[in-house]
Chain A
């Protein structure tokens, strides 16, 4: 069994994804303003994107510093950025506020909010690397911070001002020997994600993201082995793999309807000359723990409905791979899919279940498709039988833009130009060729369980947003995505 879910948990093809200028170190959690995505990094620089896929350099902050984090509460953005104010670990985290992140807006004005946390250079803490959580349960705002010198600490902020709620309260120590900490909440648990290992050494960086969880925001945060993060525990979330070295600085991106992703940086992207770059990947959940998903790679796949178990196909008469089985009589002629006749070379020993005694090649779509109608084809679903009309090539559509973490894709029957499209009736069809029209561009988001939501960029007539939906075992349509239903969930498997 070689399907994408397995690839997720034992991936071998790691590579950073995004397009455009993605050079950044210690990126903040992504935030949106006016439909644009923003992230801020060490040095006070920023990246901005209109769609979450193509990025460009953004405006710099008025305060240079280390590893900022940002959150929007009400109509204000609270940005926290640290700086060493002497020999490490003497440091302070400063608050900046703004009504907008758009430098062209008349409201764009960063205001200093003062120091919210600090370390005096003697205590067991290095007050840098702020991370924020607005608790969805009670609206309380929490700040975690720290870097290797001693503890990761937790303090409460005032969500109205962004400043310390109890300035004289002693911070909670919740982890050690890590940095780039941040909290998220999911299904009754608080998760503390931190980065272990060394940063800032390019392809020699040992950065990796680890985590623990707790029922209370103040801890204790235990890993999967039950080891407290105050004692060095931490379940691995993301490590170096493939062509990317040193993942760190987790940031949650909750797109709603059960679609979650996360931002991070790699200390070195070997495909980008070893530069530190931003990436966005799917966030999955398994056995109560977040799992770092992989962005979909271009290739040929089958689409299998979680609901029905049947596979998406062009509605053409299929032909068995290798030809129709023959139980008696002379062997038939060559199958239309190519390859020798099943019976050629004489019957194999072993009877009707023995096969033909040699590998059966894949169907040649160029041969099989000669019998297909030349115009637009209907789309349906059927049991997957490795036939040509059931294999689809997913490839980024050049210049078509994208969405957080991924480009819009074109989906064609493998080996052909026949392209999957949404129709004006909010149904599906296969066109003779891809034209780049919005209804032929597909957004593919991985969901928490590893399955995928597949949506056209647009549906003619303005219907939408809609998702590929298995309304019947043999029929797929487009309908509104329901995160509680399996209708719009698909496995994308390698055929």
Chain B
């Protein structure tokens, strides 16, 4: 199905009184375990920001704008508002019932633009001990850049669909306690989503993790 046809289908469904599907819901209280296959299903999502460009350089230029620098420094909370380039944006704590986080559903539910957008996402994975030789493995529609504990670890670019374990980081170490995973997902037209999980040294889903949407690590 082409993106145009997809959008037309959705538009028709809305006009006909159908309730558009959503796979997202407000995050429930308490901690959350990774889902089947180790996918991280709880995220803080920032309202979509209109952007254009999916090439390596365009996406890098977008996500490295000074206006976003603070997003890589601070840990947000659900409902927190902030202003970027004059626009008031809100963080939403969301759970997905699927392996992926459907950002099209997210944006549409908010009544926001769904194409040519940038969505920032943050989650916090708590490790029971220091874990070496771990890889972050993601898929995204479309381009995305990822950070683990402030270090940029993945960048995938171009017009692409979400494929499990598409972008994979080099081996990294999760420290005992909270580990902050950030992502910036940029789409072109139509559907947009992402998925993420952590793999062990044998490329199997990492077990023993806990998702808790706050970085309660000691102040450095």
A425 and B56 contacting across the interface, CB-CB below 8 Å: no
Would A472 and B171 be within 8 Å (CB), given that A317-B55, A317-B56, A317-B57 are in contact?
A: no
When distances are taken between beta carbons in the complex, the residues of chain B under 8 Å from A472 are 137, 165-168
Partner of B165, one of A317, A425, A426, A471: A471
A475 and B171 contacting across the interface, CB-CB below 8 Å: no
B170 and A477 contacting across the interface, CB-CB below 8 Å: yes
When distances are taken between beta carbons in the complex, the residues of chain A under 8 Å from B55 are 317
Asked if B46 is at the interface of the complex by the 8 Å CB criterion, the answer is: no
B170 and A473 contacting across the interface, CB-CB below 8 Å: no
Query: Which residue, A316, A471, A477, has most C-beta atoms of chain B within 10 A?
Result: A471
CB distance from A474 to the nearest CB of B (A): 5
Asked if A102 is at the interface of the complex by the 8 Å CB criterion, the answer is: no
When distances are taken between beta carbons in the complex, the residues of chain A under 8 Å from B165 are 471-473
The chain A residue with its CB closest to the CB of B165 is A472
Asked if B25 is at the interface of the complex by the 8 Å CB criterion, the answer is: no
CA A57 – CA B84 in complex, angstroms? 76
10 A-B pairs with CB atoms under 8 Å apart are A317-B57, A471-B135, A471-B203, A472-B165, A473-B139, A474-B156, A475-B154, A475-B169, A477-B168, A477-B171
Partner of B166, one of A426, A427, A474: A474
CA A487 – CA B157 in complex, angstroms? 22
Given contacts A425-B170, A427-B170, A471-B199, 7 further A-B contacts (CB under 8 A): A471-B135, A471-B165, A471-B168, A474-B156, A474-B168, A475-B154, A475-B168
A426 and B171 contacting across the interface, CB-CB below 8 Å: yes
The chain A residue with its CB closest to the CB of B156 is A474
CA A382 – CA B163 in complex, angstroms? 12
The chain A residue with its CB closest to the CB of B56 is A317
- CB-CB contacts below 8 Å: B27-83 with A: 55-57
CB distance from A449 to the nearest CB of B (A): 21
CB distance from A114 to the nearest CB of B (A): 53
B171 and A427 contacting across the interface, CB-CB below 8 Å: yes
CA A487 – CA B156 in complex, angstroms? 20
When distances are taken between beta carbons in the complex, the residues of chain B under 8 Å from A477 are 168, 170-171
- CB-CB contacts below 8 Å: A189-221 with B: none
CA A477 – CA B134 in complex, angstroms? 13
The chain B residue with its CB closest to the CB of A427 is B170
When distances are taken between beta carbons in the complex, the residues of chain B under 8 Å from A316 are 56
CA A495 – CA B163 in complex, angstroms? 25
The chain B residue with its CB closest to the CB of A473 is B166
When distances are taken between beta carbons in the complex, the residues of chain B under 8 Å from A474 are 156, 166-168
A475 and B167 contacting across the interface, CB-CB below 8 Å: yes
When distances are taken between beta carbons in the complex, the residues of chain B under 8 Å from A426 are 171
Would A425 and B171 be within 8 Å (CB), given that A317-B57, A471-B135 are in contact?
A: yes
When distances are taken between beta carbons in the complex, the residues of chain B under 8 Å from A479 are 203
- Chain A 216-242 interface mask (CB, 8 Å, partner B; 1/0): 000000000000000000000000000
- CB-CB contacts below 8 Å: A443-489 with B: 471-475, 477, 479, 487
Instruction: Sort A-B residue pairs by CB-CB distance and give the 10 closest, nearest first.
Output: A472-B168, A475-B168, A317-B56, A473-B166, A472-B165, A474-B167, A471-B168, A474-B166, A474-B156, A427-B170
CA A409 – CA B171 in complex, angstroms? 27
The chain A residue with its CB closest to the CB of B163 is A473
When distances are taken between beta carbons in the complex, the residues of chain B under 8 Å from A317 are 55-57, 157
CA A474 – CA B157 in complex, angstroms? 10
The chain B residue with its CB closest to the CB of A485 is B203
When distances are taken between beta carbons in the complex, the residues of chain B under 8 Å from A473 are 139, 163, 165-167
CA A487 – CA B139 in complex, angstroms? 18
The chain A residue with its CB closest to the CB of B139 is A473
CA A426 – CA B168 in complex, angstroms? 14
The chain A residue with its CB closest to the CB of B57 is A317
- CB-CB contacts below 8 Å: B113-143 with A: 135, 137, 139
CB distance from A463 to the nearest CB of B (A): 11
- CB-CB contacts below 8 Å: A303-339 with B: 316-317
Query: Which residue, B139, B166, B168, has most C-beta atoms of chain A within 10 A?
Result: B168
CB distance from B185 to the nearest CB of A (A): 15
CA A479 – CA B171 in complex, angstroms? 11
CA A475 – CA B138 in complex, angstroms? 11
When distances are taken between beta carbons in the complex, the residues of chain A under 8 Å from B203 are 471, 479, 487
When distances are taken between beta carbons in the complex, the residues of chain B under 8 Å from A427 are 170-171
The chain B residue with its CB closest to the CB of A324 is B55
CA A316 – CA B168 in complex, angstroms? 17
- CB-CB contacts below 8 Å: B127-185 with A: 135, 137, 139, 154, 156-158, 163, 165-171
When distances are taken between beta carbons in the complex, the residues of chain B under 8 Å from A382 are 158
CA A452 – CA B156 in complex, angstroms? 26
When distances are taken between beta carbons in the complex, the residues of chain B under 8 Å from A471 are 135, 137, 165, 168, 199, 203
CB distance from A241 to the nearest CB of B (A): 41
CA A473 – CA B165 in complex, angstroms? 7
The chain A residue with its CB closest to the CB of B201 is A479
CB distance from A470 to the nearest CB of B (A): 9
